[in-house]
Structure 1
Amino acid sequence: PGPPGAAPLDAPGGEPEELPGVNTAELVRRERHTWWQLVSQLYAPCAEQAVSLAQCVRESRPCAACVPAAQLVADKIRGGASAAEAQAAYGVRFGPNVKKIDLADSPSRGPERAPVQIVVWSDFECPSCGRAVPLLDEIIERHAPNVRLIHKVYPLRSHPHAEAAARAAVAAHAQGRYWQMERLLFENQQRLEEKDLLGYAQRVGLDMARFRADMAGEAAARVIARDKAEADRAGLSGTPFIVVNGREFDLALFSLQGELDRWIATELAILDGGGAAGGAGAAGAR
């Protein structure tokens, strides 16, 4: 964050200050000093505010993201993050890198114009994806109707059955049964042979002749190639790959349990306050 080409801000002197709206009560002295140094040296998340994050909060500058951003830094430090890790998390969450994602006809749940749009790329053989999906479902339910969940596929070459499973999911989506098929694929990650996929298609009530044709067809291949290319452009380094209103929810810096809930709540608060740092409506989508 900060205006393009802006010089680094000077390190603060003196003792840490209290900032209105930011809870630092649980930080020990060392953590408070680390937090204060960061919020005093990081630029505010709104580019038009060429001041430190601390000054933005202290002076109640017109940037709805400033208080949540300062709180994020405090929460990260309190959770054991180093100064570098907290700064990296701040940059990912509030920096200028907002990705444009083509949602196309990807399967989705939730209102089309929900203020928070979460795009997830998954590999059906990926254990982390299998663990993430139930958590995402719970989070979406908690925040309905303010969240829309969009799923895309990214079969990894290292997983021998991932491509066929992705084709099965795309073929099921063509018959309006994506979510039912997805659940079976993730619940049965060790059973993704062709006979298994055909069995799942029967269980969800698909037209089997059409399913076989769609699964083997060029249309499924194009959808998979499109989803993978979109993820590569967005910077995917592994699955699951999650983007919230155009910003990567980096699983190396954030945890799905707890932190995605806070991310969504912060996004809604920023949007409600008219802040630009979090985007608006279907920000990051096209």
Structure 2
Amino acid sequence: MMARRTHKEIVEWERRFPTGRRGGYAAFVEDIRKLRDSYYAEFLKNKAPRLATIDEVIAAFGRLPPEEFSEAYNLSDEDLEGRLKSVQRKYMLRFKNIRRSWALLLQYMPELMTQGRKRSVLEMSTAHGATLEILRNFGHEVRGNDFPNFLTGKTGVDSRFRGVNEHDLTRFKDDHGLNDGEPDNQDLDWIYRPITESIGLEVDLFDGGHLPYPYEDKSFDFVCCMDAIEHYCHPKDWLEIVNEFVRISRESVLIITNPVQGHLVDDDSYMKPFYKFHQDMQSYNRDGFGCVLAGVHRNQLTVFKLLKTGA
């Protein structure tokens, strides 16, 4: 259905049907209640293993996003017909973005999902900003990072296969044609900017694969990077990226990688350092930080949480 709609029509549809239901937020609450009551029994009947859906995760925790997040993004026609056309349609739905991030935070950053002590949080590659929206709602001080995409290689470089600090991406045209790569033009832009501005988030634009980051040591309590580190550089250098996260963090670092792509599984030059990264993360010991969680998410080992436990 969404594939046939324009970006403007998608936003207008969500405004008309909050949470994607005719009954709005109240219908969402009722659906989650029913799902929680039936999920465990129904799961036992399924012979084929499957992943829990986002709503099933939310139902299991019994904690729902507040109704205010069911309001559609407030975006101009100019942006909807312009840069936002490069955004995948599924990411134009605010409540869907919120639910996805809400489920991850409940599982992997529960200490931030309370009205307890307020922390400062940096999210690398924040995209539409749903994670930061949620954490701000709990009173935390939030800041994001993002950067134009350089993933196709068609414009001169594919950031996924470079070494850390290899290639100054400001000198290349990005995948969506927002930046021309000219040395004299340093006004960087990225496709999600209208969304993050519409919800009042502060986002710093810099290349996540180029170190050091423009922050002082121990600038944030928490640093998180979800579904993004594989875009920064080749896995042989991912640990250097993690070390930079640790440098600027006071308390904790959460990394969730995307599942490895099928066409890379037989590529030893990629997979050997990929597996080595897994081992290095499980035994991580730097600046008092150690691994307190290594988790399977989406059927692959993709979740690593570091916590400062020593001096």
TM-score (norm 1): 0.27
Q: Which has the higher contact order (CA 8 A, sep 6+)?
A: 1
Greater CA radius of gyration, 1 or 2? 1
Structure (1/2) with the larger strand percentage:
2
